């Protein structure tokens, strides 16, 4: 069916897969955030488990390294009472030459319900969603420089806790925009939720060819980009995706774009500082800011569990409800 448009929604407009925030309505995004609120409470109980996905099997297939995304997907599935398998691809039959599709079809034959995919290639999660059996849902845990939709939801959930009126917010996303799947998903999500102004701040070499097409205001100067913003989102230099010399040196990058308390002074006095991780301290952010009073970076990590519980339960829970007679 290659070439036909592919939708992550089912015929009733509900999530069947979760591949991108592109095309998701404000209602669907808000539904995920509200559902995450109820799951955040589960994480504070003595018994951090609900039976919603008992009998379901979630498979984490991470073809790229991860700390936050892999562990919070695993915890989210376990807290929903699903069974979880983390496939160690270095010890799987993939190293003996088995193709990606044969690996997927092998796992499908074990009657799994959901694959969570992280892959270095943009479009990998869509490709897999197109090719899996109808009983499997796919969640994108980050594909190349294309999308990281659950991270974007985590970030807006974190912002909403501190600054609930999005219509007044100015948000600056700073750093390696060109190679960042997080930035692409964040911009779409912030705009869909009605954020007043989204800015991207980077040297020209770390912007994509037509940066305005992302739907954000472009700033080359950190000082101008941070002026009067409510939220500062710092991004890592995606060294693994950078080809060729785009910067004079990491020292020079830190001097011009690394966030320090002094440079943060032009943002609003109550501005929060975010970073999806992993951090490169002393490159895009200094420790005084990362560990400082305005940092909400570890809150973002905690919120990963509730957001991923919300999306998993909305996909797998609804599929079951749709199958129930009457």
Residues in the interface with ligand CP (CB under 6 A) total 9
CA–CA gap between residue 43 and residue 56 (Å, rounded): 20
Binding window for ligand CP (CB under 6 A); candidates: 66-74, 83-91, 100-108, 209-217: 66-74
Indicate whether 175 belongs to the interface with ligand CP (CB under 6 A): no
- Per the CB < 8 A criterion, the answer to whether 175 and 206 are in contact is yes
Indicate whether 67 belongs to the interface with ligand CP (CB under 6 A): yes
CA distances, 289 to each of 67, 95, 292, 311 (Å): 22, 42, 5, 31
Least distance (Å) from ligand CP to the CB of residue 185? 11
DSSP symbols for 94-121: GGGT--HHHHHHHHHTTT--EEEEEESS
CA–CA gap between residue 46 and residue 86 (Å, rounded): 26
Least distance (Å) from ligand CP to the CB of residue 276? 4
Residues with Cβ within 8 Å of residue 88, at least 6 apart in sequence: none
| Tokens encoding 210 | 């037509």
Indicate whether 277 belongs to the interface with ligand CP (CB under 6 A): yes
Phi and psi (nearest 5°) for 95?
-70, -15
CA–CA gap between residue 88 and residue 83 (Å, rounded): 16
Binding window for ligand CP (CB under 6 A); candidates: 20-28, 42-50, 157-165, 271-279: 271-279
* Residue of the chain from 35, 137, 151, 254 that contacts ligand CP (CB under 6 A): 151
Indicate whether 282 belongs to the interface with ligand CP (CB under 6 A): no
Least distance (Å) from ligand CP to the CB of residue 129? 19
* Closest to ligand CP by CB, 278 or 282: 278
Q: What does the DSSP 8-state code read for residue 240?
A: G
Indicate whether 254 belongs to the interface with ligand CP (CB under 6 A): no
Least distance (Å) from ligand CP to the CB of residue 289? 18
H or E stretch including 86?
Answer: strand 83-87
* Residue of the chain from 144, 175, 258, 276 that contacts ligand CP (CB under 6 A): 276
* Closest to ligand CP by CB, 140 or 151: 151
Least distance (Å) from ligand CP to the CB of residue 61? 14
* Residue of the chain from 9, 10, 68, 247 that contacts ligand CP (CB under 6 A): 68
* Closest to ligand CP by CB, 137 or 238: 238
CA–CA gap between residue 16 and residue 134 (Å, rounded): 10
Residues with Cβ within 8 Å of residue 42, at least 6 apart in sequence: 48, 49, 50, 79, 306, 309
| Tokens encoding 246 | 């785009």
* Residue of the chain from 60, 69, 137, 189 that contacts ligand CP (CB under 6 A): 69
Least distance (Å) from ligand CP to the CB of residue 117? 13
Contact characters 119-148, ligand CP, x per CB under 6 A: -----------------------x------
* Closest to ligand CP by CB, 81 or 299: 299
Indicate whether 86 belongs to the interface with ligand CP (CB under 6 A): no
Inter-axis angle of helices 149-162 and 68-79, nearest 10: 80
Footprint on this chain of ligand CP (rule: CB under 6 A): 66-69, 142, 151, 276-278
């Amino acid at each position: 069916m290659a070439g036909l448009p592919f939708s992550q929604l089912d015929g009733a407009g509900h999530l069947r897969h979760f591949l991108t925030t592109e095309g998701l309505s404000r209602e669907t995004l808000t539904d995920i955030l509200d559902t995450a609120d109820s799951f955040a409470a589960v994480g504070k109980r003595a018994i951090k488990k609900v039976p919603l996905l008992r009998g379901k099997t979630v498979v984490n297939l991470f073809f790229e390294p991860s700390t936050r995304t892999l562990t919070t997907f695993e915890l989210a599935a376990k807290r929903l009472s699903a069974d979880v398998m983390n496939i160690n691809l270095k010890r799987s039959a993939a190293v003996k030459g088995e193709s990606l599709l044969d690996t997927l079809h092998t796992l499908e034959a074990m009657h799994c319900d959901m694959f969570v995919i992280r892959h270095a290639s943009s479009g990998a999660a869509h490709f897999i969603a197109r090719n899996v059996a109808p009983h499997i849902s796919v969640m994108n845990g980050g594909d190349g420089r294309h999308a990281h939709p659950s991270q974007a939801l985590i970030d807006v959930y974190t912002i909403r806790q501190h600054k609930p009126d999005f219509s007044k917010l100015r948000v600056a996303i700073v750093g390696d925009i060109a190679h960042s799947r997080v930035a692409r998903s964040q911009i779409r999500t912030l705009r869909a939720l009605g954020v007043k102004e989204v800015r991207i701040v980077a040297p020209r070499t770390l912007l994509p060819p037509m940066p305005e097409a992302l739907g954000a205001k472009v700033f080359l100067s950190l000082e101008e980009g941070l002026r009067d913003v409510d939220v500062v989102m710092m991004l890592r230099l995606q060294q693994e995706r950078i080809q060729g010399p785009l910067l004079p040196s990491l020292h020079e990058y830190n001097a011009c774009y690394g966030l320090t308390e002094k440079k943060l002074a032009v943002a609003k006095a109550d501005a929060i500082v975010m970073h999806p991780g992993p951090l490169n301290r002393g490159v895009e952010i200094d420790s005084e800011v990362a560990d400082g009073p305005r940092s909400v970076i570890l809150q973002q990590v905690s919120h990963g569990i509730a957001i991923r519980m919300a999306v998993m339960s909305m996909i797998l829970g609804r599929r079951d409800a749709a199958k129930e007679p009457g």
